[in-house]
Structure 1
Amino acid sequence: MHGDAQETDVSRRGFLKFAAMVGAAGGGGLLFGFSVPARSQGEGRRSVIGGDGVETPQPGVFAPNAFIQIARSGQVTLIMPKVEMGQGVYTSIPMLLAEELEVPLERITLVHAPPDGKLFNDPLLGEQLTGASTSIRYAWEPMRKAGASARTLLVTAAARRWKVDPSTCIAQAGRVTHPPSRRSIGYGELVDDAAKLPPPQDVRLKAPKDFRLIGTRVKRLDSPEKVDGTAMFGLDVRLPGMVYAAIATCPVFGGTLASVDDTHARKMPGVQQVVRFDNGVAVIGAHTWAAKRGLQALVIRWNEGPGAKVSTETIVADLVKASRRSGAVARREGDVDKAFAKARTRIDAVFQQPFLAHATMEPVNCTVHVRPDGCEVWTGTQVPGRVVDAAARVTGLPPGKITVHNYLLGGGFGRRLEIDMVTQAVKIARQLRVPVKVVWTREEDIQHDMYRPYYYDRISAGLDDSGKPLAWQHRIVGSSIMARYAPAAMMPNGVDPDAVAVAAELPYDLPNQLVDYVRQEPRDVPTAFWRGVGPTRGAFVVESFIDMLAQAAKVDPVAYRRDLLRKSPRALYVLNEAVRASGWKPGVSQGNGRGSGVSVMHAFDSFFAMVVDVTVQNGEVRVNRVTCVVDCGMAVNPDTIEAQMQGGIIFGLTAALYSQITIRAGRVEQSNFNDYRMLRINETPEIDVHIVKSSEAPGGIGEPGTSALQPALANAIHAATGRRLHTLPVGDQLKART
């Protein structure tokens, strides 16, 4: 990705042999990877698993472990563990390696690894996957150990050449120096000697006080290519002989294709073929415009099926009914029934959160070429292994015959954890003899997404004479994404750990708790992860409800939280810092049109507090300022952390103010950004991010901004208007009440 290293094709079999070899030589290190950018647009992005390359590393390449190759030129190649979708891992993970290897960051180039769950498994997620804000948590120790191991071997090689004690040598800036004799040698000159040495059994990692790179603000290494247009996304694929597909999928969930009259379509200039598949039809054209015009000329009849009776109202009715039955217990502390019996006051509430689409900036796309002896897929994905499995299922080819070319992702947000677009593209491609590029229109993207589930929560608390909670009961009702996506991760009693995230592990001191989960699937509506996943749902309910309890107790919401956070010092600290930085004023009167709201959240192994200041006039919400304090442990690149919090906050504001997917007659009613709108640049508030200095291991950062923002916004609106909004999005509700 960066630098001037030459591209190398390596066969899949050869790469796996090499991986096994360097994995053993490196003391059991993990192997990861990404693909090298192509030199020409026609080739797209070349994957290391394709081609007829060498079986092992070329002579003169030092591969001390599964992460690193160092050439005689001194160029360092990093086998990259995660995909880049805007979260900054193309910069932060190389920083971990560069810190311990003692090389300039600009000397590191990145290489993708082939899809292989055994080699590239993320132990935090159970498969080769980028998501759940785990990238830095996952790479923190292995990547640093890889760098330290390589550095140790290079220093040892230099010391042996000079016949000196290795402890008298220093590694710095890609060179080994012996200060007493003033001798110095570059890493590239040592690779042959270092390759002959046994790997170190134990390496000492730097103490945080000795970091020179980790913890500093480093500019994104992938930004220049994104700015000048040379960065390659799936949408940029161009292949010799490639054709283009425009698709129409049954508008009703669960429906299928009944018939197609393509008489007029086939007469359109540039239209080459009409391809049918189970629930849709594609027109193949010499270019996109021909395919789209041909699609418009089709006369299509659908078998809508029972899904045509589904609506938002029927789905909500199912959830309400399900909420009346007991669920699988996610957490039980003390005796909730006895605590409620002793309580002076009982507070009950219901919260609802709608279906949400991902609406990634780069529309869903996939290019596929199916041949009798193999299948190639060009796409941007968070799960390359699942792409292989999807292509193998459709084609009947063995996984070893599937080649995946992975790209930068123009937004993931959980959408590219799914492989439905790959499955569809392969179904189309297997009926052709040439590569076909399938790009969903924005309407197809919005109306055939896999949606963040509709959630329905019942929550209650019993308060003592001082207004402090004696009893806490929370029932979560909704679809189980985990049961479909990763059934092995489900708890034995049927609890979806994602659905109860935050709710089942509160930072507050609550002596009597009962949190349970009722699985209720939304008929035929497909559901999937959405940025922030379970914590987004959980934080909105919990933090809105805590504000309700503070109001009932007639206590300032910050003071109320402080009293409950005495046993969670990191959560208390971020709250106090957010209050200080925002200029929070206790006891602000409600109903004057301006107010501030607060939230605290522990998720993804990080702690967050937010204060949101809003003005509400005539049903319109203007967010003036968001103050965010984050304790994510060791901050690898504060610049990226700040950017991620800003992006997450904007993403969360968009959803909380405007976003919802509604269903009528089995169809999604929204279709594009006119009715599934985004936050405009002039609506973006001032965002003030503060990062707590910490020596704790890193926590997650890519998703939490979205999760912590929404309850702080709802609480601010309540402070400004006196209205407690229990359902998102808030925009339509405020207008309706004006």
Structure 2
Amino acid sequence: MTPKTSRRSFLKGAAAAAGAALFIGARPDGALAASSSDAMLNPFVKIDSEGNVTAIIKHFEKGQGPATGLSTLIAEELGLRMDQIHYAFAPSNPQVYNNLLFGPFQGTGGSTAMANSFMQYRQAGAAARELLIKSAAEAWGVDPAGLSIEEGMVVGAGRSAPIGDFVAAAAQMEPPAEPRLKSPEEWRIIGNESTRRLDSVIKGNGKAKFAMDVHLDNQMVVVIARPEQRGAMATGFDDSAAKEVKGFINAAVLPNKAGVAVYAENTWAAIQAREALSVTWDTSAAETRSSDEIRAEIMAALDAEPEYNVLKKDHAETLAAIEGAAQVIEKTFYFPLLAHAPMEPLNCTIEQTAEGDIVLHDGAQMPTGPHMAFQQIFGLPAEKIHINTMLAGGSFGRRATPDADYQVEAALAFVMTDRSRPVKLVWTREDDLRSGYYRPAFGHKVRVGLSAEGEILGWDHRIAGQSIMKGTAFEAFAVHDGVDGSSVEGVSDTPYRVPGMFVGLTDTKKATSTLWWRSVGHTHTAYAMEVMMDLAAKAAGRDPVEFRLVHLAGGGADQARKAAVLKLAAEKAGWGKAQAGRHMGVAVHKSFGSYAAEVVEISGTAEDGFRIEKVTAAVDCGIPVNPDIIRAQMEGGIGYGIGHAMRDQITLAGGAVEQYNFPDYEPLRIGDIGAIEVHIVKSTEAPTGIGEPGTPPSAPALANAIAAASALTVADLPMVEHGVSFA
């Protein structure tokens, strides 16, 4: 999705400055504004009198690259090299830094950073360029049309000077309402293969500051004793043994009774004191089901009449077409609960200033959520709440919850103190895996009818699982006619031209706190769709790539772009030319506005174990702003999807999570995939998502390669639990 907004309204910021600094943003009426007044607030571009340029980044950086990507746009329009621009994260202010695709809400997610900010940040850079040129033209008494900015220098009319010389005067000028944007022919940085991340050096030398690195003077560390079963409430505790731990300070039941806060002088003491704590839990309303029971409920829902007719199609017609088909292919899939498991466990730090303001130091993926929650918890107006956004070591969706869970947890722990000391909340890896939010469990039951000539006549697709959006603040815009769009995306809106398609959905009871996971519903819908396309191709006696292309023919741009990445991936992988002892599987999927196709090449056998030799990917994500980042995100998404499909699941016993740490929830290992090769389509379309689109096709491409090698179609995940081993 690309926002349809005029240039004038792209900049939703305000102007702010200190001394002779130039900030470019927007006035409350939507027009561009520049000022040197301290009273103005935080725009997108800051230039000081020394000519130092800082891009104000409204999107959270958890490794996916917006700090570099958005800085690239400003640098391009302003006329800088990448080593001449710095970045800083924006403060929490949804009136200025809202995600244009989320409405009046500041947040990062859904692979929207570049999609919603491409024009906005170019506009900011272009406005700054024109102001500086106008200032220089007046100072030199020349026509501004003859001036330009190159590598931070205003040049033309036989003169040159650094942009810092013109900042003070430019800050007093009326900014252009419609600055000229550079044409693609003028781009030097956008799309440049040599452009590298701005944060690579500091992450490599240890200077990067992550949320976990925050250590304030006189702070306390708090960890939370949480129940094993979702929904249990703390009714009391015995801390007599905890008092023997050196550094233990205090323990208290959280106001919402969701756990017991354990305070200590350092992290180790807090963890040890928590281990020594004896907590009494009320489990009367807690989850008690096992994974087998949850699976049985989902499977039963698939066999019953669907709760929702997603496409509003006549189910009877689809069933009749299938029953009259020459061949019927049927498969039932099951996808277990999955944890996000980022490398940096959850954490944040809260302090109160001398003026009574509350400051949250956090890898804040959606700062508007905790900002609003803190207003209620602390009884303060919005302007008394501040969020200092830090780098985060991954997220995959976990740092963005509808109820701001861990930030609220920290705030409740802080509000119970006298607020004289900062409080740092720390989750352990075990907390993250056993007490977190999870990709919900889902089942798919698909029946496809083929004619005698191998053509699809009908496609009956039933889905059952736990809704992510229902019961949250996001329900109003994410659920329509009872259907949670994240449960069916990738099926209900497939670009495949499939005749007689019926999609039914049934919601089942949530076993855990559910949450979006890298690529959300596409994590399971792509798998079911692409494995079924392979099964249908095999039944029709057609090549899997050719069969998919048939069902993408004769459509519009959506089908053409999906077909193009499929052809590119197949060509680059040498589809149909695998060497002896190797087999290939393919999958292609559209998600977050982008198109990704992947070919997985494997060796080995089911008996001795398979080895993933290579993954060849092609992606069309619109204009490729930073090719290096695009490749990295595709590689990461592929590894994330394949690693979880290979061996990961979250299981419950009596309502309690059984997995504990990486030994029993093993992430992808570097040796699991021999090589990944990514090819980027040169597109002129508006940029779309890249953080997530690499994940959906990866697991089904692997599954289809395994089927080609062994005739085993893996319908239940993880693979190692259902007849597959890896060498």
How high is the TM-score relative to the length of structure 1?
Answer: 0.89
1:461-483: CA deviation from partner (whole Å, max 9, x where unpaired): 22122111121222222222122
- 2:198, 2:25 → 1: CA distance? 27
2:165 is paired with a residue whose SS is helix
Deviations 1:254-304 (A, max 9, x none): 001133111122133221212222122232222222222222222222222
Out of 526, 531, 539, the residue aligned to residue 539 of structure 1 is: 526
- Separation in structure 2 between the aligned mates of residue 264 and residue 141 of structure 1, nearest angstrom: 59
SS in structure 2 opposite 1:498?
helix
Q: In structure 2, what is the equivalent of residue 432 of structure 1?
A: 417
Indicate the residue corresponding to 1:443 in structure 2: 430
Distance verdict in 2 for CA 1:196–1:262, change over 3 Å: closer
For the pair 1:182 / 2:158, whether they are aligned, the reply is: yes
Where do 1:228-627 residues align within 5 Å?
Answer: 228-277=205-254, 278-323=257-302, 324-332=304-312, 336-337=318-319, 339-340=321-322, 342-369=324-351, 373-418=356-401, 419-433=404-418, 434-483=421-470, 484-523=472-511, 525-566=512-553, 567=555, 568-585=559-576, 594-615=582-603, 616-618=605-607, 620-627=609-616
Whether the aligned pair in 1 keeps the contact of 2:24 and 2:32 (CA below 8 Å) is no
User: Aligned match of 2:179 in 196, 203, 206?
Assistant: 203
Could you report, residue by residue, the CA deviation over 1:210-229 in whole angstroms, capped at 9, with x for unpaired residues? 21110113121111111111
What's the CA shift for 1:54?
Answer: 8.0
1:686 counterpart letter in structure 2: A
SS at match of 2:595: strand
Q: 1:245: Cα distance to partner?
A: 2.1
Q: Give CA deviations for 1:348-393 in whole Å, capped at 9, x if unaligned.
A: 2211111000111001112223589343222212011111123233
Cα 1:642–1:237 shift into 2, 3 Å: same
**By how many angstroms is 1:338 displaced?**
5.2
Q: How does 1:76-87 map to 2 (within 5 A)?
A: 76-87=53-64
Deviations 1:628-664 (A, max 9, x none): 0111111111111111111111111111101100001
The runs of 5 or more residues in structure 2 that have no matched partner are 1-12
> Closer, same or farther in 2 for the Cα pair 1:399/1:327, shift >3 Å?
same
Q: Distance in 1 between matches of 2:75 and 2:173?
A: 21
Query: Counterparts of 1:94 and 1:494 in 2: how far apart (Å)?
Result: 40
One-letter code of the match for 2:27? A
In structure 1, how many angstroms separate the alpha carbons of the residues matched to 2:281 and 2:139? 76
Which amino acid in structure 1 is aligned with residue 121 of structure 2?
Answer: M
Q: Per-residue displacement from partner, 1:558-602 (whole Å, max 9, x unpaired)? A: 12112112132221111111111111117x89xx97421000111
Counterpart of 2:214, as a letter, is V
Q: Matches of 2:245 and 2:82 in 1, distance apart? A: 53
Task: Render the CA deviation track for 1:690-730: whole Å, top value 9, x for unaligned.
Answer: 11111111121111111110110111111111111111111
Equivalent in the alignment of 1:43: none
Displacement after TM superposition at 1:332 (Å): 4.9
Alignment length (residue pairs)? 694
Whole-angstrom distance in 2 between the partners of 1:94 and 1:710: 33
For 2:312 and 2:498, locate their aligned partners in 1 and report how far apart those are by CA, in whole Å. Answer: 11
Segment of structure 1 superposing worse, 596-605 or 195-204: 195-204
Is the contact made by 1:26 and 1:66 (CA closer than 8 Å) also made in structure 2?
no
The match for 1:37 is none
CA contact (8 A) 1:232 1:408 kept: yes
Query: Structure 2 CA distance, aligned partners of 1:395 and 1:196?
Result: 39
CA distance in 1, matches of 2:529, 2:202: 42
Q: CA RMSD in A?
A: 2.8
**Structure 1 counterpart of 2:66:** 89
Q: Which piece of structure 1 moves more, 281-290 or 603-612?
A: 281-290
- Which of 70, 93, 110 lines up with 1:132 in the alignment? 110
Q: Return the alpha-carbon distance in structure 1 between the equivalents of residues 129 and 14 of structure 2.
A: 29
1:636 matched to 2:618: no
Contact kept, 8 Å, 1:348 with 1:458, in 2: the verdict is: yes
| Partner of residue 670, structure 1 | 659
Q: Output the TM-score relative to the length of structure 2.
A: 0.90
- 2:376 and 2:23 map into 1 onto residues whose CA distance is 27
Q: 1:327 touches 1:475 (CA, 8 Å); kept in 2?
A: no
- Cα contact 1:27–1:199 (8 A) shared by 2: no
Q: Give me the whole-angstrom Cα distance separating, in 2, the residues matched to 1:522 and 1:570.
A: 37
Partner of 2:5: none
Moved more, 646-655 or 103-112: 103-112
Letter in 2 for 1:110: Y
Residue 303 of structure 1 aligns with an amino acid whose one-letter code is D
Q: Give the drift of 1:342.
A: 4.6
Deviations 1:237-256 (Å, cap 9, x if unpaired)?
11111112233201111001
Shift of 1:337: 4.5
| Matched residue SS, 1:470 | strand
Report if aligned partners of 2:32, 2:177 keep a CA contact under 8 Å in 1: no
Asked whether the equivalents of residues 595 and 614 of structure 1 are also in contact (C-alpha less than 8 Å), the reply is: yes
Map of 1:39 onto structure 2? none
Matched residue SS, 1:415:
coil
Assess if the C-alpha contact under 8 Å between 1:30 and 1:67 holds in 2. Answer: no
Q: Please report how far the alpha carbon of residue 403 of structure 1 lies from its aligned counterpart in structure 2 after TM superposition.
A: 2.2
User: What is the DSSP-based 3-state SS (H/G/I as helix, E as strand, rest coil) of the residue aligned with 1:679?
Assistant: coil
Which residues of structure 1 form unaligned runs of 5+? 1-11, 32-52, 58-62
Letter in 2 for 1:208: P
Residue 35 of structure 1 corresponds to none
SS of residue paired to 2:383: helix
The residue identity in structure 1 corresponding to 2:71 is: P
Q: Please give the alpha-carbon distance, in whole angstroms, between the structure 1 residues aligned to 2:17 and 2:279.
A: 47
Q: Determine the C-alpha separation between the residues in 1 that align with 2:725 and 2:140.
A: 80
Q: Distance in 2 between matches of 1:341 and 1:717?
A: 30
Q: Percent identity?
A: 37
Q: Secondary structure at the match of 1:192?
A: helix
**Distance in 1 between the 2:83 and 2:620 partners?**
29
| C-alpha displacement of 1:185 | 2.7
Conserved? CA contact 1:242–1:436, under 8 Å? yes
Shift of 1:619: 6.1
Letter in 1 for 2:84: R
8 Å CA contact retained: 1:248, 1:444: no
SS at match of 1:269: coil
SS at match of 1:577: helix
C-alpha distance in 1, partners of 2:97/2:300?
Answer: 43
Higher alpha-carbon deviation: 666-675 or 150-159: 150-159
Q: Which range moved further: 470-479 or 219-228?
A: 470-479
Residues 188-214 of structure 1 show CA distances to partners (whole Å, capped at 9, x for unaligned) of 222233233322232332222221110
CA distance in structure 2 between the partners assigned to 1:471 and 1:358 by the alignment: 36
